Amino acid sequence: MSEKKVVGRTVVIALGIICVILAVGLVGAIANYTSIISGKDNSIGTKDSQMQTLTSQKNQLQTWLDGNETLLNQTQTWLDGNITYYNSQINSKNSQINSLNSQVNSLNSQITSLQSQISNLNSQINSLNAQITDLENQIDTLKAPKLIKVHLMSDDNRPWLGTPYLHVYGYVCNVGTYIAYSSKIHVVAYQSGGVVAIDTYITIGTIYGESWTSVDSNIYYSGSALVSWTLTLEWTA
């Protein structure tokens, strides 16, 4: 066999082997690619399922949101209406409160004025009470027993053949309303040199209010003539 034929056969064999290797590799690559495509298809199917689930959930959520938005709008409308109503009520109450506060302030002013008037009246009452007390005291003083001398006279008598005496005579009047008890005249007479010749009482007794009694009494003494004497009325209420 010639050398060219041997080389040609060898080349053919080599080419055949290479084709077989390429064919085997191509088959493996195709199988691997098919497996990858199948995995991708499965992954795409899973993603589509997830997408559908999410879409469904999204639709449900959107429906829930739409329903709640409607409820929220209704609630907001209700709240707005009630806020308007309560604001109106609050404004009305505030107006009433302001009116009442104004009335309270007016009443406080009146109370202050009345308290001032009461204070003035109390001062006037105290003054009147003092005047009444003074008048009552004056009345009591006027009503109290008070003895006065009415033509009450006194003479020093020195008879030639008798004992000298001081003659006291006249009237004693009770100008008060009440009774004068234990009425008497304190008689004190002096002789020359300040000598006390007489120091005694003329007993009158009870004298009723606004009445009088007469006095006629001789008080005897000894010694020289009298130079002076006093007649003092005394009594108890």
Question: Which amino acid belongs to residue 5?
Answer: K
By the 10 Å C-beta count (0-12 exposed, 13-18 middle, 19+ buried), 91 is classed as exposed
Q: Which listed CATH number (2.60.40.10, 2.40.40.20, 3.40.190.80, 3.30.70.20) goes with 145-236? A: 2.60.40.10
Position 179 scores a pLDDT of 97
Distance in angstroms (rounded) separating the CA atoms of residues 136 and 133? 5
**Cβ-Cβ contacts under 8 Å for 184 (sequence gap 6 or more):** 201, 202, 203, 204, 233, 234, 235
Q: In whole angstroms, what is the distance from residue 189 CA to residue 199 CA?
A: 7
Domain ranges of the chain: 145-236
CA–CA gap between residue 151 and residue 198 (Å, rounded) = 21
pLDDT for 48 beyond 70:
yes
pLDDT in tens, 32-46: 656 666 666 666 667
User: What DSSP designation does 159 have?
Assistant: -
- Highest averaged pLDDT of the listed ranges 17-26, 126-135, 197-206: 197-206
- Is 1 a residue whose pLDDT tops 60? no
The residue-averaged pLDDT of 166-174 equals 98
**Which one has a higher pLDDT value, 73 or 6?**
73
CA 99/CA 101 separation, integer angstroms: 5
Higher-confidence residue of 218 and 131: namely 218
Q: Is the pLDDT of residue 7 over 60?
A: no
Q: What is the pLDDT of residue 37?
A: 62
Q: How far apart are CA 127 and CA 47, in angstroms?
A: 111
In one-letter notation, the amino acid at residue 58 is K
Computed on alpha carbons and rounded to an integer, the radius of gyration of the chain in Å comes to 74
Most confident of 55-69, 95-109, 141-155: 141-155
- For residue 146, the model assigns a pLDDT of 96
pLDDT > 90? residue 188: yes
Contact between residue 221 and residue 173 where contact means Cβ atoms under 8 Å apart: no
